[in-house]
Structure formats: C-alpha cells, structure tokens
Amino acid sequence: MNASEFPYSRGRRLRSCENIRRMVSEHTLSVNDFIAPLFVMEGKGNREEIASMPGYYRFTADLLLKEAEELINLGIPSVLLFAMVPDDKKDNEGKEALNPKGLMQSTVRLLKNEFPELVVMTDVAFDPYSSYGHDGIVENGQIVNDESADLLAKMSVSHAEAGADFVAPSDMMDGRILLIREALEENGFVDRGIMSYSAKYASSYYGPFRDALDSAPGFGDKKTYQMDPANVTEAVKEAVTDELEGADIVMVKPGLPYLDVVRAVKEAVSIPVSVYNVSGEYAMIKAASKMGWLNEEEAMMEALIAFKRAGADLIATYFAKDAARLL
Ligand code: PBG
C-alpha cells in the first residue's frame, strides 16, 4: 500500500469547495488576454448586426469609437480592425488597400487620436479589397505569391503611417513577414509590431466572417495558401519561420479545433502565441444557446479557458466584451 494510492489519495479533496478549487486552479483568464475584433463600414451613425454572428455588429467609424470606448472601459487593451470595402472599390491591384484616406487608414487615425493608449492592430490581407475575394493578387487563376507579399508590405506601411501599433497579416503568403519587417524598418516604423497569422488553416469556420465583410472567394478556395487541417508539423515550421523573419507575436487560427496546434507552437517559439477564436466558433455557441441547448456564458468561459490551458498568451475573440463583463 502506497499513500499516493486510493484510498489515501483522493482527488476530490482538492475539489471539495469553491475556495480550494480557486486555490488549485491552474490557469486564469484575464481581460489582458483579449484582442477584440472590430468591423468598420463606410457611412455615419449606423450599425448593422451580422446575420450569422448574433449580437455582433459592423459599425460606421463614429459609432465604432463608442464601441472602442466601451471595450476600453472594460479593461480590454487591444482591438483588431477589419474594414468592409464596397464592391466598386475592389480590384486586383490594391488601389483602395493602399489609399491613405481609405476606410482602414482613416479609422485607425480616428481610434489613435481618440484613444492613444489603445493597442490598435490591423488585419493585413487583400481579400476584403479583392475583386476575386482572395488574399493575394490573382494572375491566370493563380494567387501569385511574391507580388502579393509586396502589396502586403505596402499595406502594412500604410497602416503604420495611419498609426497602427501592430499589423496582423492574415494572408499566408510565403516570405511576407520578412518583407513587412524590412518595409517597416525602412520607413522608420521600428516600434511597430507584427502579429503574424502563422498557422492559418483553410477552415470552414470562417463562414460568418466572410458574411461580415462580404469577402468570400469568387472562385475556388484558399487551399493553395491556407493550411491543411490535417497538419501540425507544418504549423510549427510556419510559426518558427515567422519568428525568424521578425514577427513579434505568432497566431494559430481557428482556435477550438486546433488546441493541439496552439500547444505545439507554444513549445516551439520564444514569443507570445495568440489564438483566434473565429467567427464560426462564436456562431456555434450563439446558435446552440439560442436554441436552449447550451448555457452561453458557461460554454463561452469554458472555451476561453481552454485556450489558456493549451498555451495561448492572447485570444482574439468576439466574446471579448461579454467575457470581460463576467471577469
Ligand atoms: C481574411 C481573414 C479571414 C479571417 C480573418 N482574416 C477570413 C479568411 O481567411 O477567409 C477569419 C476570421 C473569422 O472567421 O473570425 N484574410
């Protein structure tokens, strides 16, 4: 008989009351972990609920400022900005993407003027601006890598000029982190960060987001640049490559179906790891709780702590505001 065996050892002792459970809790969630995605659209005085993301809105820039203020008051340190581009401004070269007065750039300027302390991150990818709905430039039905990576570096500089603290390339082109880092350095933005979507999978869970931005691919799919859900070694390679190319934070996306990838990446890099709790994950919890099949708050908090357990340092999540209220 060994005292570390039953009946001397009883795991339930450490679960017997709330205070003991608090004492032995291994992971904690904090508002400091949250990055709140925000969708901005053209116009004034308006917000639109995204049909497949109940309770989540696209805002015109003036109302977006109010939303940002609420997030700040809840202690959320950072937002990740996405711009909805009208069809007549979409092309295959990036005119609007590089427009210094474009919606993304002007919204960043507004946010940073109003809330200098807020960490403003911008999504850097071509799909919301692309007449083909792809993350890069299209030539002969192919998404061409190097031309696209050049464009992404120019977009990053344009966002930095507007005041973005971090650029967040979500496109999965090869070599873009190095090009972005070099472009930021050459243009004097040595203090701006790169949060790289390093391991971004070709996922069905982005569906609601593509509704939010009207950015679904016009032909084909994203499998020649986004990753195969079957792979994890490749995710580690992508993250390590991005770290070496100059990323400050690496990201795994989506979140819940890829917790093993978060863990593997966390163990392979020496920089913070973020995870994107994507639109489809949000929609699933919302839909099931609307049906009365799940308790929304409990399911949300359980998902969020799972990211911490898996090793995530930061969580980009549409639940940021709801969770911050509970914390
Ligand atoms: C665009 C982009 C996508 C998301 C973030 N940036 C969609 C895609 O790659 O098709 C998805 C976010 C979400 O689903 O919440 N490059």
pLDDT tens per residue across span 28-46: 999 999 999 999 999 999 9
**Phi, psi dihedral angles at 48 (to 5 degrees):** -130, 130
Nearest atom of ligand 1 to the alpha carbon of 215: 10
Structure token pair of residue 199: 């391991």
Comparing CA positions, the residue from 279, 303, 283, 300 lying closest to residue 291 is 283
Least Cα distance to 142 among 215, 87, 197, 222 occurs for 222
Query: End-to-end distance of the chain based on CA atoms, in angstroms?
Result: 44
> CA-CA-CA-CA torsion for 26, 31, 35, 36, nearest 10 degrees?
130
Are 106 and 61 within 8 A, CB to CB? yes
192, 169 Cβ separation under 8 angstroms? no
Between CA 195 and CA 272 the distance in angstroms is 9
Give CA–CA dist 96/220, Å, rounded. 24
Tokens encoding 179: 């090009």
The pLDDT value recorded for residue 303 is: 98
206 CA closest ligand 1 atom index: 14
252 Cβ closer than 6 Å to some ligand 1 atom? no
d(CA 136, CA 32): 33
- Going by the DSSP 8-state scheme, the letter that residue 171 receives in this structure is S
For the chain, where are the alpha helices, taking DSSP H only? Answer: 18-24, 61-73, 103-114, 145-162, 176-186, 207-213, 233-245, 259-268, 279-290, 296-310, 320-326
Catalytic residues: 200, 253
CATH topology of domain 28-326: TIM Barrel (3.20.20)
DSSP string, 208-230: HHHHHHT---SSS-STTTSBPTT
Residue nearest to atom 11 of ligand 1 (CA): 206
* Cα(279)–Cα(261) distance, integer angstroms: 19
What pLDDT, on the 0 to 100 scale, is given for residue 1?
Answer: 65
Between CA 252 and CA 218 the distance in angstroms is: 25
The domain locations on the chain are 28-326
Query: For residues 312 and 41, what is the distance between their CA atoms, to the nearest angstrom?
Result: 30
Amino acid letter, 287: A
Query: What is the rounded CA–CA span in Å between residue 124 and residue 128?
Result: 10
Pull the structure tokens for residue 29: 């969630």
User: Does residue 203's CB lie within 6 angstroms of at least one atom of ligand 1?
Assistant: no
* pLDDT tens digits for range 224-239: 999 999 999 999 999 9
Closest Cα to atom 14 of ligand 1: 206
Ranges of residues in the chain whose predicted pLDDT is under 70: 1
Token pair for 113: 């003027």
Identify the three-state secondary structure at position 204: helix
